[in-house]
Amino acid sequence: MIDSLRFFSAAVVLTAFIHLSSIDTSAQDWTRFRGPNGNGVVEGTNFPTEWSEDDYAWQTELPGQGHSSVVTYGGRGFLMSGDPQTAIRHVLAIDLNSGKILWQRNYESKTHRLHRRNSFGSSTPAVDTNGLYVAWSSPNETVIKALSHDGEERWSRNLGTWTSQHGFGTSPIIAGGKLILFNSQQKDQLPAGATVGESRMMAFDPKTGETIWESPTNTTRVCYSVPCVREIADGGAELVCCNTGNGIFGMDIETGKINWELSVFDKRCVASPVVFGDLVLGSCGSGGGGNILVAVRAGKNPEEVFRVRSNANYVPTPIVYEGHGYLFGDKGVVSCVNLKDGKSVWRERLGTGFSGSPVCVNGNLYCMDEEGKMLVIAAQPQFKQMGEVDLGEASRSTPAVANGLMLIRTDSRLRALPSIN
C-alpha cells in the first residue's frame, strides 16, 4: 500500500512537471539565473542555429568584465560587471529594443584573489515587480542591494565577512515572495590564520531588506549552487539546493527549516540543482576531476536513485528535457543520459571547455564554450549538432531568452539575437 501511494504521489508530481514544462515560456520575463525556476527551458519560439554579425538586432559594449547573465523585466535587461583592476562593481540597465544603456551604477569595492575563471561581476541579479536585487562580496563584506527598475537604491545590507578561496559567484532569487541568497562560505583548505566562514541560507523581505529567516547549513567549501523550487504533492513548495556538507536538500520556504537532506557529495558544488518530477539532480567536482552527478528522490525519506561518474558536469548546470539530462563538461565533453537510470545515451567532445550553462529553446541546446563558440545541439537521444557560431571573444556566461531575443554575453559586449518565429 505504501509503495502504491508513493508511486501515485510521484506520478502526480511528474504529470504536473510535464504540464508546466510544456507551457509556452517565450513571453515570460527572465527574472533569475537560467530563467523560470532555473530550468533553462523555453518553448514557443525559435532561434537560428547559425548566424552572422549582421543578424543581431543590436550589440552593446559593456564596462569592465563579468560572467553575470542578463535578467529581464518590463522591456529592460539588467546585469552586473566588474573592473578587473579595481573591483568596482557595475550594475546596468539596457533597453531591449535598442541595446542602449539606460543607466549604470558603480560601487566601490576591494580587490582580492579570485579563481582564474571568476570575475568581480559573476553573480546574476534577480528582478521582480518591486525592483532589482544584486549581490557581491569582498573578504570584509557581503553586500546585497535592492534598486528600483530606474536604478534608485531602495535598501542595502552588509551581511558580514566573506571567506572563500575563489571569490563570490552565487546569485539571489525570488521565491515564495522572498528574496533568497545562499550565503555559502569556506571552512577547509584555507590559508594559515584565515577565519572559518559561516554558511547559511537567508531570506529577506524584498521591499525592506529585513531578514525573514536565516538557516545554518554545514560549512565545508564555498558552493555556488543557486536554489530552485520543487512543487510537492500536497500543493506546497520547497526550496532545493546543493552543497558539500548537506548534499542535496530541501527547505521550507516560509521558515527555512531543512525538510530533508541526503549527503552525497565530497567536493564543491558549483552547478545548480534541476528538478525532474520527484527527482533532484545535483553535482559536485573540482578542477582536478572526480566530478559526479547524483539523482536523489526528494522527500521525507530521500534516496539516491543513480549517479553519473563519467563526464559529469561540474560548473555548468545541466538541462533536463523530455526524460533525458544533457551535461556540459568543464573540459568540453557534452553528454546525454537517460533519467530513468543515469545510463549514458551519447557523448561527444565539442568545445574547449564550458563554464556557462546551456539553455534549451524548442528542443535545441545553446551553450557557449570558454573561447566564445556558441554550440547548438539537438536535445534528443540521437546526437545531432545543429550549428556552431564563433562569437569572436571569450565567454563564461549563460544565454537568456526574453522579449523575442536571445541575449548573449561575452567578455566585453552583449548581443541580441532575434527569434525567427
Q: What is the pLDDT of residues 377-389, one digit of tens each?
A: 999 999 999 999 9
Q: Which residue has the higher pLDDT, 116 or 19?
A: 116
| Region of poorest pLDDT, from 152-161, 162-171, 299-308, 408-417 | 162-171
Q: Which residue has the higher pLDDT, 137 or 92?
A: 92
Q: Give the DSSP H/E element, type plus range, for residue 309.
A: none
Domain that holds residue 366: 2-418
How many C-beta atoms lie closer than 10 Å to residue 379's C-beta? 21
pLDDT reported for residue 9: 41
Q: What contacts 417, CB < 8 A, 6 or more positions away? A: 47, 48, 51, 55, 56, 57, 405, 406, 408
User: Does residue 252 carry a pLDDT above 50?
Assistant: yes
Assign 260 a pLDDT band (cuts: 50, 70, 90).
very high
Q: Which three cell numbers stand for residue 219?
A: 560549512
Q: Which three cell numbers stand for residue 373?
A: 563558440
pLDDT reported for residue 203: 98
Could you list the beta-strand ranges (E) of 74-140.
76-82, 89-95, 101-107, 126-127, 132-138
Structure confidence by residue, pLDDT tens digits, 292-311? 999 999 999 999 999 999 88
Distance CA 237, CA 247 (A): 19
Average pLDDT over residues 359-366: 98
How many C-beta atoms lie closer than 10 Å to residue 213's C-beta? 17
Distance CA 184, CA 226 (A): 10
Name the domain count of the chain: 1
Q: State the pTM of this model.
A: 0.92
Residue 214 DSSP SS3: strand
Average pLDDT over residues 203-230: 93
Q: Which three cell numbers stand for residue 270?
A: 558549483
First to last CA, the chain: 49
User: Does residue 16 carry a pLDDT above 70?
Assistant: no
Q: CATH code at 99? A: 2.140.10.10
Which of 73, 36, 78 lies closest to 409, judged by CA? Answer: 78
